[in-house]
Chains A and B, each alone.
Chain A
Amino acid sequence: MATAKTPRIDVMKTYKLFINGQFPRSESGRVYEVKSGTTFIANPSQASRKDLRDAVVAARAAQPGWAKATAYNRGQILYRIAEVLEGRTAQFVEEICLLEKVTPAQAKLQVGTSIDRWVWYAGWADKIASVFGATNPVAGPYYNFTIPEPMGVVGILAPEKPSLLGLIDSLAPVLVSGNSAVLVASQSAPLPAISFSEVLATSDLPAGVCNILTGFKDELAPWMASHMDINAMDISGIAAKSQPALRVAGAHNLKRISSFTSVATPERITAFLEAKTVWHPIGV
């Protein structure tokens, strides 16, 4: 008996979180529906406070090793991410088209700009200390120098749109100096962020250095702002009217909280740097 020839059915992807280099579902078991118009697209995880805390634990554990890597090595790993991203351009274009209601040309421009910007930041890795550090001519027999250091764990609330480029504008300047990150992706267009986590997972970035959560930003943002083991935040992806409350919550451990309108500026790197000054006597 012959089987009738039928069209092939796609294998649909389960979109999950990215924590400590792995792809878990939300511990809460929650998902939310993402549509393109009226068409169902995916049920990404709706991350919980517990997921956020797990992500911070992973980020904290991974941060010293990432900061300890040579700047040259960090630069190469970040550049590798751009290489892998370039190869998956078509997938990102498709996801952006589906969720952002833009033309393929516009989506392609966003992906290309994202890759180029990532490369721009990657190149900063071994210039940061030269440009933002100093030797200081103190009035005494001391050698005195100031070096920039990463702040530690940085929480990022990524913008809704452009979903990929906005994520990259926030993430790249945080990672390049040796910070680790916990990022909450665009709520309405989360697929590029999840696919980007697959890029990270195949690009030699150590597990835990970047953790990506999907879910409801308004739900997760206050937990992020009040978390005592997050050192700094980029809240560019949150509406201006909601930002003061996060800054108030963040004052509990004096988080360094920034919001940017500029793109591709060194200011976005220096906002997540501490300056450390070391003195030593000079003598025979």
Chain B
Amino acid sequence: MSIFEYAPAPESQAVVTIEPEYGLFINGKFINGKRHFPTVNPANGKKLSSISQASVADVNKAVIAARTAYVKVWSKMAPAERAKYLYRIARIMQERAREFAVLETLDNGKPIRESRDVDVPLAAAHFFYHAGWADKLQYAGFGENPKPHGVVGQIIPWNFPLLMLAWKVAPALATGNTVVLKPAESTSLTALLFAQVCQQAGLPAGVVNIVTGDGAVGAAIVNHPDIDKIAFTGSTEVGKIIARSVAVSGKSVTLELGGKGANIVFEDAAIDEAVEGIVNGIFFNQGHVCCAGSRLLIQEGIHDEVIEKLKHRMSQIRVGDPMDKNTDLGAINSGEQLSKIKELAASGVAEGAEIWSPNCALPDKGFWFAPTIFSGVTQAHRIAREEIFGPVLSILTFRTPAEAIEKANNTPFGLSAGIWSEKGSRILWASKHLQAGVIWANTFNKFDPTSPFGGYKESGWGREGGRHGLSAYLASGKAGK
């Protein structure tokens, strides 16, 4: 029972205009596709708009536009001028931030508080950060005259639609490449709004092209002979397919894939802070986060205390209308994803782990899953090995720090890990031994354009962000090749 009841505080939708139908953004113009598919609001299942399904011919047109823009305009432009376009884009995104946030929440189902405070400001920050690199690449440590690849094909997921676009497009443009980008099938709207931003910024036609549609569009990009580099964020399964495709074509590639991040709570941790971090680690963005802290490792002596406090904290989580500014946990992005989460949660019960969720009412319509924890999980359970990509936490225990590290690293993934301890030397020791590209100590799920992000092992190839991220888009500094 909460002390205060929250009155509804819905964000207004009036700030956005959603067209009934959207075209593809090719060579600076919107071109209507021959076929369309619906995009729905996952919070209520209602159709928001119709999105064009790009054909192979459309992808080809986009690649030709990108190649032409690269050869005739973008590669000839002085880097300092190129930078100004990125600065313009960053500024327009900030100006239209409310619009982006509302549209993102409507299309994705994430709470407006997160799209407003995390996704959109970080997306703008990525453009602002990379803008400054455009005319300083010779000092980045990749040789005196680093060169772009040319045309870059980029395929992004549905969990952070605009933010992933920014992670991909900003460094690609800053380093002098042109782009053909495919947003995820279920979340195209903010990418199409971004196309309008490119128009407002006066970005030369063809520098950014956006082709919407299903996996066939992605395959057409990956296999297109005139694309020089592929950047993909998504599942490890698809990442491996792409890795095999480019093995033959010789394209450069970076992959940002799945994870099964261990969040380790040592017995000397500040427990209340750790509980906040656990909640943030797994319930941020409904757990639709590749770097989520989806495996909680608790040192045995504090197990019961942590679980009790975690359950109490989870009982305060407000699940429901993503447009409500008080909402903590929004809608699952699609029916397909909801089925996957349900199937894996059922396997957890079937394999003998103990399931618990707070008593929370879920809306009747749309796609919803209550915040859920499993205790008594062993390393052999599917819910300890497979990425659930939902608000489901698997809890394991350990006795010694060495056992914590061994369990944390016992996965083919290696994207993120969390450490909760008040002892500095233990934090540095653990961070040294954890096989993960990003380690959050006494915090979790923090992102910044200056901070390289990416995985060890089967969590991907290369890094995004920071100086390290630039190498993915420079021919002289190939990552994962």
Contact = CB atoms under 8 A, between A and B. Distances in A.
B449 to A, nearest CB: 8
Pick the most buried of A253, A256, A274: most chain B CB atoms within 10 A of its CB: A274
A41 B369 CA distance: 71
A146 B461 contact: no
Interface in A140-154: 140, 142, 144, 146, 151
Interface in B436-453: 436-443, 446, 448, 450-453
B335 interface: no
Contact of B451 (A138, A250, A257): A138
B125 interface: yes
A109 interface: no
B14 interface: no
Contacts of A274: 437, 456
Interface stretch (A2-10, A19-27, A45-53, A276-284): A276-284
Contacts of B185: none
B467 interface: yes
Contact of A267 (B247, B453, B458, B477): B477
Main secondary structure of the interface of A (DSSP, over half): mixed
A275 B441 CA distance: 17
B275 interface: no
Interface residues of B, number: 43
A69 B303 CA distance: 35
B439 A279 contact: yes
Contact of A253 (B431, B442, B458): B458
A144 B467 CA distance: 13
Contacts of B61: none
A252 B450 contact: no
Contacts of B450: 136-139, 144
A137 B481 CA distance: 28
Nearest to A283: B442
A279 B466 contact: no
Nearest to B460: A254
B466 A231 contact: no
Interface residues of A, number: 35
B247 A248 contact: yes
Contacts of A74: none
Contacts of B239: 254
Contacts, number: 107
A254 B237 CA distance: 10
A251 interface: yes
A254 B468 contact: no
B453 A280 contact: no
B427 interface: yes
A188 interface: no
Contact of B466 (A136, A251, A254, A267): A136
Contacts of A280: 427, 441-443
B481 A251 contact: no
Nearest to B458: A254
A248 B240 CA distance: 9
Interface string B241-270: 001101110100001010000000000000
B452 A281 contact: no
Interface string A257-282: 11000000001000100111111110
B401 interface: no
A277 B412 CA distance: 19
A60 interface: no
Contacts of A138: 446, 448, 450-451
B35 interface: no
Main secondary structure of the interface of B (DSSP, over half): mixed
A203 B28 CA distance: 63
A172 B13 CA distance: 60
A278 B125 contact: no
A134 interface: yes
Given A254-B460, A279-B439, A247 B247 contact: yes
Contact of B452 (A136, A231, A248, A271): A136
A159 B99 CA distance: 57
A131 interface: yes
B247 A253 contact: no
A257 B252 CA distance: 12
Given A275-B437, A275-B454, A275-B468, A281 B481 contact: no
Contacts of B454: 275
Contacts of B440: 278-279
Interface in A180-226: none
A152 to B, nearest CB: 8
B240 to A, nearest CB: 5
A275 B437 CA distance: 6
Contacts of A256: 461, 480
Given A275-B437, A275-B463, A134 B481 contact: no
Interface of B: 125, 141, 236, 239-240, 243-244, 246-248, 250, 255, 257, 412, 427, 431, 436-443, 446, 448, 450-454, 456-458, 460-461, 463, 466-468, 477, 480-481
Given A138-B448, A142-B446, A280-B443, 6 more contacts: A134-B468, A247-B246, A250-B243, A254-B240, A254-B461, A276-B456
16 contacts: A136-B450, A136-B452, A137-B450, A138-B448, A142-B446, A144-B448, A144-B451, A251-B244, A254-B255, A258-B481, A274-B456, A275-B468, A276-B439, A277-B453, A279-B438, A281-B443
Closest 5 CB pairs of A and B: A247-B247, A251-B243, A138-B448, A136-B450, A280-B441
